[in-house]
């Protein structure tokens, strides 16, 4: 970062001036944390006025707020994207055409994004593998995309439940208390613990639901075969 940028941040009230000794200005850890936070917020698309307001809430703890924002943005899984061709992605569905509509829909659902030269970055190989498994038992591509869309909607609803709990039970009391510096570690720890907890609870709940729905479907099929109707 240039001296000009630093001075511009100071003129906008984003950064405190350095401690001057003689003719030398000294910047401490708080200055560095604020600069790092400004840069990361800019990368997230925040304008300087919005950043100024965020920094005003950070008080004397920009480093804590910086670490918290990094924790919030950290990926929930270590799944690594894979680069594949469109032919490799669509192969399990046979000769079906991966037309512009299906391609755009896959991108909108966050499954993949184009890299050029006929290559695509598959953002979740696990989801694609699930689609390929469904293709293996005869599920058409469009039905797989329909299923992914529904899953995304339902998963978003579940995520909102857990984030709402964190906001109501952890963040709001902390915020009302003036964000005491000594409580930042506990807040970050709560966020980190929420990540695996949400995933494990969702999977456990899904397993119970699959058992219940499967039993109902089998029972309904048996009754239908016996001519008992619904």
**Total residue count of the chain as it appears in this document:** 230
Query: pLDDT tens digits, residue range 117-156?
Result: 889 999 989 999 999 999 999 999 999 999 999 999 999 9
pLDDT in tens, 30-46: 888 888 888 888 887 77
Confidence (pLDDT) at 223: 66
Q: The pTM is what?
A: 0.66
Domain 3-73 has CATH 3.90.420.10: no
Q: Please, where in the chain does CATH 1.10.1660.10 lie? A: 3-73
pLDDT bucket at 170, cuts 50 / 70 / 90: very high
Q: Enumerate the H helices of the chain as residue ranges.
A: 3-11, 29-43, 48-58, 62-73, 86-90, 100-108, 125-136, 141-166, 172-176, 184-225
Neighbour-count burial of 195, counting CB atoms closer than 10 A to its CB (0-12 exposed, 13-18 middle, 19+ buried)? middle
């Amino acid at each position: 970062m240039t001296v000009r940028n630093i001075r511009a941040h100071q003129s906008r009230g984003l950064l405190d001036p350095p401690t001057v000794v003689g003719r030398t200005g000294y910047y401490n850890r708080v200055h560095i944390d604020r600069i790092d936070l400004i840069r990361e917020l800019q990368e997230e698309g925040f304008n300087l006025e919005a950043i100024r307001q965020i920094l005003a809430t950070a008080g004397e703890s920009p480093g804590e707020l910086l670490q918290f924002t990094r924790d919030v943005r950290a990926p929930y899984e270590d799944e690594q994207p894979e680069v594949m061709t469109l032919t490799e992605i669509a192969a399990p569905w046979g000769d079906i055409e991966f037309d512009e509509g299906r391609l755009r829909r896959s991108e909108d659902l966050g499954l993949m994004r184009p890299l050029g030269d006929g290559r695509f970055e598959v953002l979740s190989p696990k989801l694609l593998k699930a689609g390929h498994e469904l293709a293996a038992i005869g599920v058409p591509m469009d039905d797989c995309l329909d299923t992914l869309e529904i899953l995304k909607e339902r998963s978003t609803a579940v995520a909102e439940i857990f984030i709402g709990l964190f906001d109501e039970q952890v963040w709001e009391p902390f915020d009302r208390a003036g964000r005491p510096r000594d409580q930042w570690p506990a807040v970050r720890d709560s966020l980190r613990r929420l990540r695996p907890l949400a995933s494990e609870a969702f999977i456990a709940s899904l397993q119970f639901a699959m058992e219940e729905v499967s039993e109902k479907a089998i029972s309904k099929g048996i009754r239908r075969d016996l001519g008992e109707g619904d």
